[in-house]
Structure 1
Amino acid sequence: MDASLLVIIVVVTALVFDFTNGFHDTANSMATSIATGALRPRTAVAFSAVLNLVGALLSVEVAKTISGGIVDDARITPAIVFGGLIGAIMWNLVTWYVGLPSSSSHALFGGLIGATWIAAGADAVHFAKVVDKVVAPAIAAPLVAGIVALLATYLTYRLTKRARKSVTDKGFKAGQIASAALMSLAHGTNDAQKTMGIITLTLITAGTLAPGSEPPLWVILSAAIAIALGTYLGGWRITKTLGSGLTTIEAPQGFAAQTSAATVIMASSHLGFALSTTHVASGGIMGSGLGRQRDGVRWGVAGRMAAAWGLTLPAAGLVGALAGKIASLGTVGVIAVAVVGVVVSLVIWLLSRREPVRPEHVVDEIAAQAETHKVAV
């Protein structure tokens, strides 16, 4: 296959991944605002889409980590990157279908690492960098966000316990709009950069860019637009899980959860840590639930999420390894991987149409959970 054509295929596939990242992770930014009624669902996703686009233009530190740190760009080819992207997209679609907020970021890392490992050898993966920039933040960031959200929620309820609930709710819902904006900016800043890094890595492996180059302007803009469009589509299945499945969210804890998660993500993006916004957002929501009451988290749902988190890297890695190995065999291999990717994606989409989850379903589910909570209280 012509090298230029292969690069174009990889770039398009990377933008498709970026698009799936957007609708897969919409819930990270907006689930709590939708859950408390601070923003209506359609307004929330439009608001988040615009701010994701803006956030994607603020920094390239995470992109540089991916394009020049995780794998040896001298040892891999665009075909290997293509295989890794297919592994990431498949995992994103599967977890979206079942409504599990797994990490799009770790799906990308898993797919890229698996494809590189099998096609180019284990020494082509910089495992020390993976531990330093990916694994360690994956463990620490949600814990930090959860602890901060727990303390913030506890103090908030203590300080406002004598105030009228209608007054405090109104104030915190207004605050949630600001914290949702910050969270959307943070998501764009961290997650869109991962696609920028992958495209830049592809251009380096193809010899179009010099090693160590920053993402060109067209890469930054295209990644920003792709994640914004995906966000606007809205990942309602996962929003339903984060908005009502983990805990019953009230305005004060929603504000605490969003602000805590956004602060952690923005700080990590500045340092070049490619962490999972899904893990951080989920940690903030769980922490806020515990801060309101000791039994405020539905641990069965949390356990399923944790299982998906643990499976993401190896599962995407296995698919990426197989796809990367086949794609690296030549033109026939690339076509075969592309056909399988399209067919699997189409099957998952058709299955999702049999039991669609729409914005009104999310609102109804959240309202039912809130009514159950009131009765219990």
Structure 2
Amino acid sequence: MALEESRTRWKYLDKDLERIGSVEYAAQSVGRPLVSPAVALAFIVLAAAVAGLFVDLDQTPVLIVAAAALGAYMALNIGANDVANNMGPAVGARVLTMGGALLVAAVFESAGALIAGGDVVGTISKGIIDPAGVASPEVFVWAMMGALLSSALWVNLATVIGAPVSTTHAVVGGVLGAGIAAAGLGAVDWPTMGAIAASWVISPFLGGSIAALFLAFIEWRIVKRPDLIAAARVWVPVLVGLMAGVFAAYIALKGLKHLAEVDLGLACLIGIGVGALAYGISVPIIRHRAAGLENRKRSLKPLFALPLVVSAGLLSFAHGANDVANAVGPLAAIVHVSLAGDVAAEVAIPTWVMVIGAFGISLGLFLFGPKLIRMVGDQITKLNPMRAYCVALSAAITVIVASWLGLPVSSTHIAVGGVFGVGFFREWDESRRTRRQDKHKKAKGHAPEERRRRKLVRRSHFMTIVAAWVVTVPATALLSAILFLVIGAIAG
């Protein structure tokens, strides 16, 4: 009898422990998604505290502290959204793990922002608003606050819905809307805005076209050769040298422009020298790696892996050097106006402001970046090392070509356009080969309905991303104008 009572007691105890364990597991499941927002909020508070340490709050408006918090929020969103364009192809091609990609991106983004992020930035992004048209320094501060908050909110929304958007365009839209609300339509430089709008089409088209052309070349000269390993020994060093040269020119032109004056001609000479050196070094390395590989497409992966990793790091470096201004530019303008009492066309960026931008981008990447990295690398179209190589190379080439032509382009649109380009090229190539096979066999092959379903680019993601690109500037402009009026009413 006592034994039965003991068993019954233990039975109920086991059930109670199981319930407690279930509750604990449920609490962990509910709490886990809140960890990243909590860490992000702590960083925003820390950024505001840092601003309080470096400025005299007895002399300076508390708006600087609020602006520092908004700058940190924007930096987090840039890391969550924009950096995915550099890391997505390498992760999608299984060359980098998610953890490795986050580490490489964080190191190179921070290095680019802190080493080559620049000491001077235009207070009105892209020169689209004339500072002289703003009524007073206080109104200018309100406009920058509205621009910063509206662009951060929009990029945050885009990240939630899984759409990689241009943070540069978001900031431009924010400045445009707040500037119009503060100074009227006459203060807008409409030709500059027209050039920015043209880049919506130019950036993805150039990026996609160049990526597709390189993929077609690789398919023609390597993949479809009877002995593709022998072809790879000849052409992969050429491609590695080309990538090294292009990225050397890209970094010299875009990533180091604040450290030294480098024009397009000098950047091209640097690229030619580095490319030739990389070709000479890679010939014996590729020959050694290709020894013993089977004559199949999968064997090409280790030959493209290292160049792809290096390209991802260099893209992140250049991105950190250029796009950190999207987070800290308006903040630097607010700090200058609050301390100096006047509106300047260009201002120096304090070191503490640059540090907030650099570390905010890296932290945002770690906390929220994996979602967009998977989107760009896995969910638009299937990538392998060769296709990812084409995307990375097209991004650098497109920026250089656009700089030569004097066209404003978006790195986000270029990279995602490159992914679209290789995907649509694969669709076209598969359709062409299917038609040839059907004609040769005198058979109908797949029915037209089946062929329409066999898409290698997911149309739902394509339409979502394109729609987000189109509405970024008008949406942030409208939101910024509203926030400017709200902030002005509260502060006034």
TM range (shorter): 0.7 to 0.9
| Counterpart residue identity of residue 199, structure 1 | L
Q: What secondary structure is seen at the aligned counterpart in 2 of 1:248?
A: coil
Structure 1 residue 64 corresponds to structure 2 residue 122? yes
**Deviation for aligned residue 1:115:** 1.7
Aligned residue in 1 for 2:3: none
SS at match of 2:346: coil
Residue 128 of structure 2: SS of its match in structure 1? coil
How far, CA to CA, are the matches of 1:144 and 1:155 in structure 2? 17
Larger Rg: 2
Q: Distance in 1 between matches of 2:125 and 2:169?
A: 15
Matched residue, 2:19: none
> How far, CA to CA, are the matches of 1:62 and 1:107 in structure 2?
20
1:48 paired with 2:105, answer: yes
Partners of 2:98 and 2:370 within 8 A in 1: no
**Cα offsets for 1:306-347 (capped at 9, x unmatched):** 11111111112221111111101243x7xxxxxxxxxxxxxx
CA drift at 1:271: 9.6
TM-score (norm 2): 0.61
**CA drift at 1:70:** 2.2
Task: Find the partner of 1:136 among 195, 198, 216.
Answer: 198
Provide, for residues 322-376 of structure 1, a one-character-per-residue CA deviation record: whole Å limited to 9, x for no partner: 1111101243x7xxxxxxxxxxxxxxxxxxxxxxxxxxxxxxxxxxxxxxxxxxx
Deviation at 1:263, TM superposition (A): 3.7
Identity of aligned residues (%): 28
CA-to-partner distance for each residue in 1:220-246, whole Å, 9 max, x for gaps? 333222212222324233223212222
Residue 270 (structure 1) shift: 9.8
For 2:213, give the aligned amino acid: L
Q: TM-score, normalised by structure 1?
A: 0.79
Structure 2 SS opposite 1:71: coil
Q: Partner letter of residue 144 of structure 1?
A: L
Tell whether 2:235 aligns with 1:177: no
State the AA in 1 paired with 2:389. F
Name the structure 2 match of 1:221: 355
Which segment is superposed worse, 14-23 or 238-247?
Answer: 238-247
Distance, in Å, in 1 between the alignment partners of 2:128 and 2:329 is 10
Equivalent residues in 2 for 1:182-201, closer than 5 Å? 182-201=314-333
Matches within 5 A, 1:97-246: 97-132=160-195, 134-161=196-223, 162=225, 163=228, 164-206=296-338, 208=340, 210-246=344-380
What is the CA–CA distance in structure 2 between the aligned matches of 1:169 and 1:282, rounded to whole Å? 22
CA gap 1:198/1:265 in 2 versus in 1, 3 angstroms: farther
| CA contact 1:72–1:126 (8 Å) conserved in 2 | yes
Deviation at 1:129, TM superposition (A): 2.6
Cα distance change of structure 1 residues 195 and 218 upon mapping to structure 2, 3 Å threshold? same
Match of 1:247 in 2: 381
Separation of aligned partners in 2, 1:277 and 1:316:
19
**Whole-angstrom distance in 1 between the partners of 2:483 and 2:427:** 46
Distance 1:3 1:216, change over 3 A: closer
State the secondary structure of the residue aligned to 2:121: helix
Single out whichever of 187-196 and 48-57 deviates more from structure 2: 187-196
- Work out the CA distance in 1 between the residues paired with 2:404 and 2:353: 19
1:23-64 Cα offsets, whole Å, 9 max, x none, are: 112321111111111000011011101111122232549933
Structure 1 position 68, deviation (Å): 7.0
SS in 2 for 1:63: strand
| Contact kept? 1:106, 1:312, Cα under 8 Å | yes
CA shift for structure 1 position 274 = 6.1
**Conserved? CA contact 1:64–1:214, under 8 Å:** no
Match of 2:75 among 18, 24, 33: 18
Task: Check whether the contact 1:83–1:111 (CA below 8 A) recurs between aligned residues.
Answer: yes
Contact 1:110-1:313 within 8 A present in 2 as well:
yes
Q: What do residues 253-302 of structure 1 show as CA deviations (whole Å, max 9, x unaligned)?
A: 11110121134346768999764322111111111223344154333321
CA 216–128 in structure 1, closer or farther in 2 if over 3 Å, else same: farther
Q: For the structure 1 residues 220 and 136, does the alpha-carbon distance in structure 2 shift closer, same or farther, using more than 3 Å as the test?
A: farther
Q: Residue type of the partner of 2:89? A: T
Q: Please tell me the root mean square deviation across aligned C-alpha atoms, in Å.
A: 2.8
What's 2:146 paired with? 83
Tell me how many residue pairs correspond in the alignment.
331
Could you tell me how far apart the structure 2 residues matched to 1:62 and 1:280 are? Answer: 26
Residues 238 and 170 of structure 1, relative CA distance in 2, 3 Å threshold: same
Deviates more, 1:248-257 or 1:51-60: 51-60
Shift of 1:65: 7.7
